[in-house]
Structure 1
């Protein structure tokens, strides 16, 4: 009697394949949902969730629903690589969305590249992220542009001739942004009088600030994340340093004002988006976001998470498949995609060409200052 085992095995495999083809399209997200920088991941996560809900309500992509598989890296070094491996090997996701942090994106990027799974970073601005390989993309501007914008803002708007830089030695984002700011500021005729360093998690910055005060600068550039940056400004005011402090998109968090309070008045930072921008696309996004998330105002990372999800869905639709190589090619061909954070065009290096928004802090509130074109 002829065995039916091979036939049954083939039938089961075929059934499994058909189910996968008709089932949801799994997309992985790795983010800092808890831990020291949880507001970054929570914001981008809300944007991604909202985008997926809208896409699915409109019929999904290729006739299939999108399914978000989220993993929390807990803001811990090394954890992003671990969860990226799980999402790819165990959950069989077709793409990754992550991360807001450049450092954590640099951890997971090589995993995605090796597996030939496209990865879209919502807000990782360090140039090295997309240099990992041709499967790694981003929907935000990069630090050479952001550093240039803030250096020119310091010189033109703040009339600063002499500045100090306080940066983190243990943060790839901070190191890179400090470098690009320094190069542009000095090229424009300014002087960086003093540079001071700190490590992530530090809480006492009085030694660095004492050196800054002695230098008699016109402004201080702090390209760090919101916790340390807010503490630095508070302690600077306690030491009698009254000049403006300026930063990058790492300051973007509702916790910034909670930690820094009125000490932050007169400070500025660059970011990707402001809910106060009266652009029609921005106002529509803000209205939908507030309706979905209990009247919460979206920040830049919510907008970029939302845009990353939509750029991915658009690429899957244009590719006509979730095949990694074809999806990669479709992402690389993204042009003039209108989203919450502006128009996204992916360049030859898989970076987005985008403008920057300057936020001013006054009377304990964040205020839209201006937009700087790329």
Structure 2
């Protein structure tokens, strides 16, 4: 009798895996992604939830091993992450083959028709970069130089910058790259400065994103500096110090939850979530990356009740139903924006998912 009761309890439990780069070159981001789980609910729709969090150390091969273990041994119902683009790219084929829904928490280019189990809680890079280029236009920028990571993420930001700049009539005068593990971007900055651009766009993330900023400041660059949504974090401000003052970046509403107007759709969810996080970890825990984890869970949570009407958690039928209901998401308000999905759009975010901020004396200030 006891064995039967334990089996039933185990089968009723919902298991959600999380693959996060907690250590390695993106550790500053990983802390934010992981912290959200400390305030996640222990039950969803009356069912016990187990969160299985593992660190891939920003190594795609480790991400693959972790994903295989989560699918084959832990029998997870869904995966949140990976939190790094290269790692998410590596895990995607495995999750789709096993029919395990994954809510990616890093910018990722994918085809939802070919990869039906892949979803994203992160704003598309083009959506965010377009807002920065629109700001450049307003400020009269005619030339812009690019300094970014020498990897897939750096390519995404560069491609989006070039496309938007070309459309806006802004000339892209340089394309300089550096590695996530580099300790300086001095040589890249020297090459950029000789071009005398009106603005510099940085396509990096986390604390390594401070390197071009610091070098530009040291070399006396007086133009505008722009940063993408992967750079906006307390760690960026702390490590960059006075050198990053004035940097204009794009991010989700959650970062400036307490500065948002009442008309902003995400103000309520963002405020509730951040107050819970701050109560646990303090004011330095305000992070867009924690918000991505939260929104991924909100998406899964909204899809679970209908999926449970179809099948029991822990089964392929449940995962299939979960995927189908994720795809039906409509006007779900998260901390980063509003999600509405379809068979051809597994993200569904719009202009409500972005705000412009500026680094001012160690804080991110909302720009009108």
Higher CA-based Rg: 1
Q: 2:345 aligns with which of 349, 352, 356?
A: 349
**Residue 358 of structure 2 aligns with which residue?**
360
**Residue 27 of structure 1 aligns with which residue?**
16
Q: Distance in 2 between matches of 1:137 and 1:367?
A: 30
Q: CA deviation at 1:295?
A: 4.7
**Which runs of 5 or more residues in structure 2 are unaligned?**
261-266
Q: Distance in 2 between matches of 1:34 and 1:198?
A: 20
**Residue 104 of structure 2 aligns with which residue?**
121
Q: Distance in 1 between matches of 2:145 and 2:188?
A: 10
**Residue 186 of structure 1 aligns with which residue?**
166
Change (3 A) 1:131 1:32: farther
Q: Distance in 1 between matches of 2:288 and 2:28?
A: 11
TM-score normalized with structure 2 length:
0.88
**Residue 299 of structure 2 aligns with which residue?**
311
Is 1:302 matched with 2:290?
yes
- 2:40 is paired with a residue whose SS is helix
Are 2:89 and 2:108, in contact at CA under 8 Å, matched by a contact in 1?
A: no
Residue pairs, 1:138-153, within 5 angstroms: 138-153=120-135
**Which runs of 5 or more residues in structure 1 are unaligned?**
1-10
CA RMSD of aligned residues (A): 2.2
Are 1:194 and 1:212, in contact at CA under 8 Å, matched by a contact in 2?
A: yes
- 1:360 is paired with a residue whose SS is strand
Residue pairs, 1:135-214, within 5 angstroms: 135-156=117-138, 158-169=139-150, 171-214=151-194
Q: 2:82 aligns with which of 87, 99, 102?
A: 99
Q: 1:334 aligns with which of 329, 334, 352?
A: 329
Residue pairs, 1:149-298, within 5 angstroms: 149-156=131-138, 158-169=139-150, 171-273=151-253, 274=255, 275-278=257-260, 279-298=267-286
Q: Distance in 1 between matches of 2:115 and 2:297?
A: 20
Q: 1:74 aligns with which of 29, 47, 57?
A: 57
Consecutive aligned runs of 4 or more in structure 1 exceeding 6 Å deviation: 11-16
Are 1:105 and 1:129, in contact at CA under 8 Å, matched by a contact in 2?
A: no
- 1:250 is paired with a residue whose SS is coil
Change (3 A) 1:25 1:82: same
- 2:53 is paired with a residue whose SS is strand
Q: CA deviation at 1:86?
A: 0.9
Q: CA deviation at 1:296?
A: 4.4
Q: Distance in 2 between matches of 1:267 and 1:252?
A: 10
Q: Distance in 1 between matches of 2:112 and 2:271?
A: 30
Are 1:127 and 1:143, in contact at CA under 8 Å, matched by a contact in 2?
A: no
CA deviation string 1:136-155 (max 9, x = no partner)? 00122211212222222222
